[in-house]
Amino acid sequence: MPQSRGAGKSLVRASIAIHEPPLGKSTTPGALMKTFSFDFNPAQLSLGRRAQWTMTPAAAVREGAKAQFMGSEAREMSVEVFLDTSDKPTDNTVLKKVESLLSCCGVTARSKAADQPSPPWVVFQWGSFATARFTAYVSSVQASYTLFGTTGIPIRATCQLQLHEIPQATARQNPTSGALTARRVHRVVAGDSLPSLAWREYGDATVWRAIAEANDIDDPSRLTAGAELLLPAPQEVRR
C-alpha cells in the first residue's frame, strides 16, 4: 500500500521547510528550523484562491445589484501527508513527525522571547511544481492514527494540512512582458549552496547561475550565513 501512494527513491520528494517567523515588519521567513521531508509524495493537492466582490443595490436598475471588485485573497492549499513505519513496529518516527507538524500551529520560543509571538512560517516545495510553492502559515493539522504497534505506539498515520499563503513584498517588472513576476527572498543558513537552492526552488541544480546573476555573486562557493538572496521567479530561469 505505501508504495502505491508514495514515490520511488529516484523521484523528487515533496517537503515542507519550517522557518522561524520574521521579526519586525519583514515578510521574509526567518531561520530554517527544520525540513519536513515526505516519506510518500502526496496523491493529490487542493489549491484554491478567492476574489472578493460586493453587491451594491441600485434602486434605478431593475436588472439587479451592481458588482464591485474588492480584491483577491491569498492562495490556500490542502495537502495530505501519509506516514508509515509498519515495517518497524517499535519505531516512534510516526509519532515524532506528527508532533513536528502539530508544532506548526504553536508559537515558537524565539518569537515569544522577542515579544512577537507567532507560529512558524512554512514553504511547501515539490521539485519544479512552482504553482504550489509559496510562503504560508499552517492554519490546521488533523492527524488520524490508523495502525499501532504491539506497545501501543502509532506506526501509521494520515495528516491533513491546511496552508494559507502569506503575501510577499518582493516583486519586479518583467522587461519582456511588462508583467509583475513574484520573487522570493531566502536567508542563507549553514549548509546552503547555490546548486542546493536551485534544486529546492526549481527542481534543477544546474540553473544555480540564475541565482548568482540575480545577486551579483562572483564566488558561488562562498555564501555568508544570514545573507538574503533574491530568488528569481521560475519563469525567469532559463534552462
At residue 174, the pLDDT reads 47
At residue 102, the pLDDT reads 96
CATH number for 213 = 3.10.350.10
Q: 89-105 burial by CB neighbour count: b if 16+ within 10 A, else e?
A: eeeeebbebbeebebbe
Q: Give the count of domains, the chain.
A: 2
Question: Does residue 34 or residue 228 have the better pLDDT?
Answer: 34
Q: Which of 169, 184, 203 is the last residue of a domain?
A: 169
Q: In this structure, are residues 127 and 12 in contact, taking their beta carbons and an 8 Å threshold?
A: yes
Domain, as residue range, for 206: 170-239
* Cα distances (Å, whole numbers) of residue 194 to 12, 111, 132: 18, 28, 21
pLDDT tens, 47-80? 998 888 887 766 665 666 677 777 888 899 999 9
At residue 105, the pLDDT reads 96
pLDDT tens, 43-56? 889 999 888 888 77
In this prediction the pTM is 0.65
Average pLDDT over residues 115-119: 93
Q: Which of 169, 184, 210 is the last residue of a domain?
A: 169
Q: Which three cell numbers stand for residue 3?
A: 508504495
How many other CB atoms are there within 10 angstroms of residue 163's CB atom? 25
